[in-house]
Amino acid sequence: MATKDIIVIGSSAGGVEALGRLCAALPADLPATIFITQHLSPSAKSVLPQLLDRAGPLPALSPVDGQEFERGHIYVAGPDHHLLVRPGRVLIRRGPHENRTRPAINALFRSAALAYGARVTGVVLTGLLDDGTDGLIAIKAAGGTSVVQDPAEAEWPSMPRNAVKRDHVDHVVPLAGLASLLAELAREDAGPSVPLPQEYITEDRIAAQEFAVMGTEIETPGHASPFSCPDCGGVLNQIETGSELRFRCQVGHAFTPIGLADAQNEELERALGIAVRTHRDRVRLFSQMADNARTRSLPHAVSRWEEASAESEQMIEVLEQATSSLRKPRIDGEG
């Protein structure tokens, strides 16, 4: 009888501490395998596996591509690589970013749902925005179980809160009660699995870069939207699965609506920052030209350059106000 012996966990901001507390409380005889994706800096070396290994009784490690996994072990995604699950083994791949993140929680959850269906329990912990929500939806659609840290006690509540809003979550629990719940679920009968739609299979292959390995083209699922990809500028396809909506470009970059809005915010901030810097350069140039005209006794030229400088100063003020207004309500789906 198959049990719920595959546990996938996703966390972001505040996740290192939360994962440490969770691993410290897990029983040594947990009859399950745990896979963890924590959002990481792509350029820094991660010591998260060592921290989790010391925190509790279960051995934790960062696996290599194709490694066979064992029950009672914790496998942690490394920087700048997706951690994906296949029957009996893991894949470590530099597939396209999802919500500008690699490793991405949705990529791990989706792969586990496809590989193990009802045997999977997905867990979303503290973090910003909504990575993990679409993955939980895939796990539930495949017959699996979804668990979310209580947003009221999460250090950063956006990720668990969005999961609760968009998914029919099975369990919402405080961090202190999560280890015992997972131990209990791991011993339960998994029940029947449900095949997932083709869109999930295609997106999993994109994350695994199977199109590159096999030398075949993979058609991006969905249909063209009016939006461009913030990462590469290409057209985003709109993918609808039931009532859920997400976006993916031809390169493979993927976004949830909340993730896309946040990425657009970042692009606007970057563009406004460039505009402010350019106008500051113009102010310096115009001031220099006004001084030059003044030494040459050209009052009309002085007046023109000073007016141009004043206009750029006004534009700087307008642009800085626009940048400030973008930063005030961070788009996280809570409003």
Is residue 12 annotated as a catalytic residue, yes or no? Answer: yes
Overall residue count recorded for the chain in this entry: 335
Q: Which helix (H) or strand (E) holds 209?
A: none
**Strands, DSSP E only, in 20-118?**
33-38, 60-61, 74-76, 82-86, 89-93
CA atoms within 13 A on the CB side of 8: 35
Q: In 3D, which of 269, 265, 255 has the Cα closest to residue 130?
A: 255
* Interatomic CA distance for residues 25 and 174, integer angstroms: 13
Is residue 39 annotated as a catalytic residue, yes or no? Answer: yes
**Strands, DSSP E only, in the chain?**
6-11, 33-38, 60-61, 74-76, 82-86, 89-93, 120-124, 145-149, 171-173, 223-228, 235-241, 244-249, 254-255
Q: Which residues contact 279 (CB under 8 A, 6 or more apart)?
A: 312, 313, 315, 316, 319
Catalytic, out of 5, 130, 131, 332? 131
On whether the CB atoms of residues 235 and 279 are closer than 8 A, the answer is no
Tokens coding 187: 């011993």
Residue whose tokens read 């994109």:
206
Tokens coding 74: 């914790």
Q: In 3D, which of 276, 250, 219 has the Cα closest to residue 96?
A: 250
Catalytic, out of 12, 111, 158, 312? 12
Q: In 3D, which of 99, 136, 98, 96 has the Cα closest to residue 120?
A: 136
Tokens coding 57: 């009784």
Does the CA dihedral 207-59-117-240 come out positive or negative?
A: negative
On whether the CB atoms of residues 98 and 86 are closer than 8 A, the answer is no
Q: Which residues are catalytic?
A: 12, 39, 131
